Structure formats: C-alpha cells, structure tokens
Amino acid sequence: MNSIYKGRLTALAQIFLLSVAGSAYGNNTTSHALEYASVGELSAQMERNELTSVALVKHLKARIEALDKQGPAINAIMELNPQAIEIAAALDKEREEGSVRGPLHGIPVLLKDNVDTADNMQTSAGSLAMIGQPAANDAFVVKQLRDAGAVILGKTNMSEWAYVREMGLPHGWSGRGGQGKNPHVLGAEMCGSSSGSAAGVAAGFAPLAIATETNGSITCPASANGVVGVKPTLGLFSRSGIIPITRLQDTAGTMTRTVRDAALMFNALQGVDASDAITSDAPVGVDYTAMLSTDALQGKRIGYATEYVGPGGPELRPGIEFLMALATLEEQGATLIPLTVELPDIDDYVSVLMAGVKHELPEYLASRSGLSIQTLQQLIDFNELNPGSEGYGQQLLKDINELDMSQERAAELFAALNAGFQQAIDEQLTAHNLDAMVAEADGYAQFSAAVAGYPAITLPSGINGDDLPTSVFFYGPRWSEPKLLAMAYSYEQASLELQHPTFKQQ
C-alpha cells in the first residue's frame, strides 16, 4: 500500500479531479419556467404548440446575456452558436410537418469547449493558442445529438486543457474564457474541468450539456454546482473529435438537472463509432429510461465506505446531508452495507496521464488545420509570448513535453492500475452481493470509478450551511448504467433536493 496515498491523491485532485445575488436571478424552489424546465416539460409544450424551439433558444440566449456576461457574470459560456436560431427554425418546421425525431427534438444543448463542431464555433479547450479555423468535422457525439434533433446552443468554458496547464490554477479558469463562477455562491469552488457545462445547466442556460472526464471532471463540478452529472462506462460513448488527455481513460458524459434527462441523453449518445474501437463492445439499443421508477431502490443492496484502509487513508466524517441521503435510501427500501475499502496503489498514475497528453494531443492537433500550433512545444512557446493578464504559468505542460515515456509503456502501467481499481470495486460488490455503491463527494470513490472505467452518477443531496450544494455519488460495475440511473432516479424523486442557484455574493 502506498504510504503517501492521501497526499498524492490530493495532488492528483488538483490536476485531474478538477481534469449580483438574490431572488432577482434565481430561487431555491422547483420552477417550471422555461429556464428550469425539464426536457419532458419542454417537449410537452412544443407538442401542444405552446412553445417553439426558436422561442426557447431566444429565451435562453437572453438569459445567458443577462446572467453570464452581465449581472452575476457566471462566465460559463465560451461562445454562442450563431446558427442556433436557424437550426431551431428548421426543427420547428419539421415538427409542423409531422416529423419529430425524438424526445430531444428542438431541445438546446451546450457542449464543453473540447468537443469538435463543424460550424462557425471554435474548439479550443479554453486555450487562446487554439483560435483559428474551426474543426472540419463534428465529433461523433455531436453528430448523434444533431441526428436526435438537439440544437447546439453554444460552447462552455472549462479549466484550460482540462486542467493540465499548471498545477494550482483556479478551477474553471481558461485563457480564452476567463474565470468561471459557481452560480450558487459566486466566489465559491466550482471545480473542473467541465466547470462551464455544470454551471451553465445549474444557472438555467440550457437543460442539457455535454461534459468530459478523465478523472473527476464530470463528477466534481456536478457536485459543486448542484446538478446531475453522469460518467458512463469507458467505451459507452465515442471520444472521436474530442481533445484528449488519454484514451486510456477519457470519456464524454452528461450534465442535466434531472436523472430522466440524463437517461434521454444516454439514449441518443449510445452507438458504435468505427473510428473509436473501444465502442465496439458497448451495448446498443438500450432504453435508459425503461427502468426509471420511484420504487427502483426496493430490495437493492448498496454499500458505502465507513473506512478507507491504508497509510494515509482519510478519516471519514460524513456530512449531515449524506447521512440524510442514506436514510432516504433506506426509506425507499434499500439495504445499506457499511464497508471497509482498501485503497489500491497509485504509483505511476500521474506519469501515465502525462504520457497520454504528450502522445495523443499532438495526434489531435495534426487532425486540425488552420491553427497556429501543431506541437506541444509550439503551444508552450505561444503561452510564453501570450501569458495573459493573469500571468499564469504552464509548468505542467513543460513537464509533459519533457516526459520520457512511450505510449506502450503508459498503456502497460495503466493496465495494472485499471485492473487494481476494478478488482477493488468488484470484490466489494461480489463479497457483499451489492447492486451498487454510494459515497459522499469524498474524491476517493470518484477516483476509483474513474480509474476502473466504471459508470458513476452524481446528483444533489441538499444545500449545506455555506449555501453550497452537496451531492450523493452512485457507482457500480461495467455497463450498469440502467440500474444506476434507476436507483438515482428513485432517490431523486424521494428526496427532491434539486435547488436552483441564488447567485449569492460570497
């Protein structure tokens, strides 16, 4: 067991777990106004001819202008799609003609700024060095969303380069987008790297967003901003057209305000991508809404850690919101199993991820034309000449550029790490006959699910004494998304803990 596990994981968290107040802007009650309506509510209004996609897009654009760039200035949106209204109008016409593509028809969605779109928008990972000719092709997940009838509303801000520019930078900051804010408490932690996707959904800028994660970049910002974040099993969603950290662990995922909306996105985003071989083993044709019910927790056995074993393991002190979440699970018919969880060794983990950036980022850059950089060295040189007003450094990028590790060696080392974390989770599931595991947002469970490549769902569990969201974290074995979504839905419907932000000044 690694004797400095806790300290090293804290450092990893800094890198990869984070890969105008008052009622004038929001409230803490459930709202069915357009900005906070679910996909089902919006679709029902469109079906009754009470709402058009064009009207919805205009409404959300006006809200973004009022709250993202002015007022509390959340700064969650990198840029808006200038074609969004045109796309919405075409989808409205399809609906008028009796053709509806599905539940996402006419529904706006935001994309993290590391997801390619073949339109007038940039794909920059938050870096000024990436401004130039837009991508030539849509990412596979973008094509899927367009085919499903979603309206690409815009790109969201993110921690620059998915937080691999420099350790210690503020989470949610990028050179291109500036500093994002948590819409609940403007000066509070918003986490990253999918900070803008989480904050934008929380603030009512869109009902849906695409996020990405290497380790914690969906689960952490979803928790901090009080939304539903789902990281799928590695291989369920394509990574083609997404700026990489490493394909050994990268995945796209979803940010929504409800579990059902996440399930609807999963229905649209599943599918085999010939250009991403890892998707070849993924289940297809699954209806991720089919198991959603208020009694999905009945008879389920759910484990939760009461102790992490190993030198440097943290002392668990669960918050009142997590204890209440456990009580809700029991009230809904679940049997809770306390667990002692052993922390696997994480030797070489940082080097493996750094090697991914070193080898895979240049491959991505080679796929783009019309950019000022094609190599890591050119990126570093650009940043030296264009440090920005904040003057932030880029030591991590320099360390990555100087790293001497082949892709083959990185894959070999990661295989052992991946197997160790899978075994640690699988042994608990098997030994205690568990359907899933649950945790507070302690970072250790998030880290474990990420390295194992296993699915995980973060959803709101309340608001703490600092007026910040708290969360509960469900995770389970490979391809267990239908069951996890169902259990999360049952908890969500029983707890009703989603609370909209008040844009409070700290």
Q: Residues with catalytic annotation?
A: 112, 193, 217
DSSP 133: S
* Four-residue CA torsion sign, 83, 89, 93, 96: positive
Q: Report the 10 Å Cβ neighbour count for 367.
A: 12
Tokens of 319: 């918050």
Tell the residue number behind the tokens 């968290």, with chain if given. 13
Nearest to 489 by CA among 298, 333, 296, 323: 296
Which residues are CB-contacts of 322 (< 8 A; sequence separation ≥ 6)? 440, 461, 470, 472
State how far the alpha carbon of 71 is from the alpha carbons of 157, 212, 467, in Å: 18, 28, 19
Task: Tell me if the bond preceding 461 is cis, omega within 30° of 0.
Answer: no
State how far the alpha carbon of 41 is from the alpha carbons of 34, 150, 156, 255, 441, in Å: 9, 15, 24, 17, 30
Paired residues of 473 in beta bridges: 439, 458
Tokens of 208: 């849906």
State how far the alpha carbon of 214 is from the alpha carbons of 72, 210, 283, 375, 504, in Å: 30, 14, 21, 21, 30
Nearest to 162 by CA among 173, 154, 151, 153: 173
Report the distance separating Cα 197 and Cα 183, nearest Å.
12
Which residues are CB-contacts of 33 (< 8 A; sequence separation ≥ 6)? 204
* CB 247, CB 410: distance < 8 Å: no
Residue 218 phi/psi, 5-degree rounding, is -100, -50
Residue 352 exposure: Cα atoms within 13 Å on the Cβ side: 24
Report the distance separating Cα 423 and Cα 108, nearest Å.
40
DSSP 447: H
Q: For the chain, give the longest Cα–Cα distance.
A: 65
Q: How many residues does the chain have?
A: 506
Tokens of 239: 């990574």
Report the distance separating Cα 93 and Cα 100, nearest Å.
10
